[in-house]
């Protein structure tokens, strides 16, 4: 693969798949201290809001409510309390008007420092506590380059690489997931967590929350796989009207890839979440054990979360 193609496709993957391929040593030299920006506290406004899985936002990306999922003991995740999303940088004034009534009080941003710099969030739907961390994704570009330089590379090569990448994501993002859970324990207001595409780092985070609340594994996977439906026609796969020449070359090359390869770049595979769960099980015996020990959620706090987020 020549230098132009490699660099161009790396840029495409950055836009389409960021957050999906941290390697196991990608934390080396990265600062993981949280940059939590507290603002004036406010009382939660209890209001009837539409029960909608995918929020109808003009500039949203994979922005959805985790409410409505049934637990194994017959309860249901409350609507309007927990939200997951991709990048927020393109929300419109109308989107913010729509979100205002949802009274989101905390935003957990799993993106790296450079991602936040490239697409800054300018939240305009009320005061929030903004949580983020200074780190970079590691050597994902080199890992992608190795796979794409393979003669006759195809979907199976990218899927296998991402299977391993999710092991690295668990290792890299554990401090961030821990901070999110501690925020959920200490605050009762609605919380939003997101990354760039809202499918990888966010997908694992959503799986952990739903598992902690008692949602069965198959339903957790189905929520994870919804990203394939909600991202397939998104702007991530469309050349912007104001695209630069570099972006035009990038998308021209991307469009020449086999359809199944393009689908992998913009979506998720069930095996990736299985790989993340397997790493948690390897470390702590079970996903529940990971939540208890790695995320520091004891039995009393778990009961508190269920009381707070289930009905």
pLDDT for position 21? 42
CA angle at 17 for the pair 12 and 23, rounded to the nearest 5°: 115
Q: 13, exposed or middle or buried, with CB in 10 Å at 0-12, 13-18, 19+?
A: buried
pLDDT for position 111? 96
Percent of the chain with pLDDT over 70: 79
Tally the domains of the chain: 1
Higher pLDDT pick, 237 / 190: 190
Q: pTM of the predicted model, to two decimals? A: 0.85
First and final C-alpha spacing in the chain: 54
Q: Provide the pLDDT confidence category of residue 39 given band limits of 50, 70 and 90.
A: very low
- β-pairing verdict for 191-194 and 82-85: parallel
Positive or negative torsion for Cα 195, 205, 295, 309: positive
Across all residues in the chain, what is the average pLDDT?
A: 84
On the question of pLDDT at 4 being above 50, the answer is no
Enumerate residues 6+ apart whose C-beta is below 8 A from 232: 263, 266, 267
Q: How many C-beta atoms surround the C-beta of residue 244 within 10 A? A: 9
pLDDT for position 141? 63
For 208-259, how does the pLDDT look when each residue is reduced to its tens digit (9 = 90+)? 999 999 999 999 999 999 999 999 765 555 666 666 676 677 677 667 777 7
Q: What CATH number has the domain bearing residue 50?
A: 3.90.190.10
Strands (E), the chain: 64-65, 82-85, 106-109, 129-131, 191-194
Q: Provide the pLDDT confidence category of residue 125 given band limits of 50, 70 and 90.
A: very high
The lowest-confidence range among 186-195, 260-269, 296-305 is 260-269
On the question of pLDDT at 72 being above 90, the answer is yes
Q: Provide the pLDDT confidence category of residue 48 given band limits of 50, 70 and 90.
A: confident
Higher pLDDT pick, 259 / 100: 100
Buried b / exposed e over 276-305, threshold 16 CB at 10 Å, is bbbbbeeebeebbebbbebbebeeebbebb
In DSSP terms, 76 is beta-bridged to 70
Question: Which residue range is the domain that position 248 belongs to?
Answer: 3-309
On the question of pLDDT at 63 being above 80, the answer is yes
CA distance 231 to 227: 6
Instruction: Choose among 134, 136, 290, 125: nearest CA to 192.
Output: 125
Average pLDDT over residues 6-13: 48
Sheet containing 64-65: order of strands:
64-65, 82-85, 191-194, 106-109, 129-131
pLDDT for position 281? 98
On the question of pLDDT at 153 being above 90, the answer is no
């Amino acid at each position: 693969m020549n230098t132009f193609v490699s660099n161009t496709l790396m840029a495409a993957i950055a836009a389409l798949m960021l957050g999906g391929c941290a390697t196991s040593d990608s934390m080396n030299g990265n600062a993981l201290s949280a940059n939590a920006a507290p603002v004036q506290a406010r009382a939660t406004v209890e209001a009837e809001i539409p029960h909608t899985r995918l929020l109808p936002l003009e500039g949203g990306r994979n922005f959805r409510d985790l409410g409505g999922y049934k637990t194994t003991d017959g309860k249901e995740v409350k609507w309007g309390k927990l939200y997951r999303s991709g990048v927020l940088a393109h929300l419109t004034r109308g989107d913010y008007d729509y979100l205002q009534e949802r009274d989101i009080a905390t935003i957990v941003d799993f993106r790296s420092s450079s991602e936040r710099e490239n697409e800054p969030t300018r939240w305009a739907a009320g005061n929030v506590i903004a949580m983020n961390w200074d780190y970079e994704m590691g050597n994902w570009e080199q890992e992608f380059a190795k796979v794409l330089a393979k003669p006759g590379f195809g979907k199976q090569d990218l899927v296998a690489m991402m299977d391993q990448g999710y092991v690295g994501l668990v290792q890299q993002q554990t401090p961030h997931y821990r901070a999110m859970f501690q925020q959920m324990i200490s605050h009762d207001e609605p919380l939003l967590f997101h990354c760039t595409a809202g499918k990888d780092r966010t997908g694992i985070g959503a799986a952990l929350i739903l598992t902690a609340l008692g949602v069965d594994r198959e339903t957790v996977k189905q929520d994870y796989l919804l990203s394939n439906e909600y991202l397939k026609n998104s702007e991530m796969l469309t050349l912007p009207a104001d695209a630069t020449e570099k972006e035009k070359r990038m998308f021209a090359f991307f469009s020449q890839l086999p359809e199944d390869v393009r689908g992998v770049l913009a979506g998720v595979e069930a095996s990736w979440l299985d790989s993340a769960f397997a790493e948690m099980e390897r470390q702590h015996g079970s996903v529940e054990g990971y939540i208890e020990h790695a995320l520091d959620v004891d039995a009393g706090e778990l009961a508190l979360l269920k009381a707070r987020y289930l009905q």
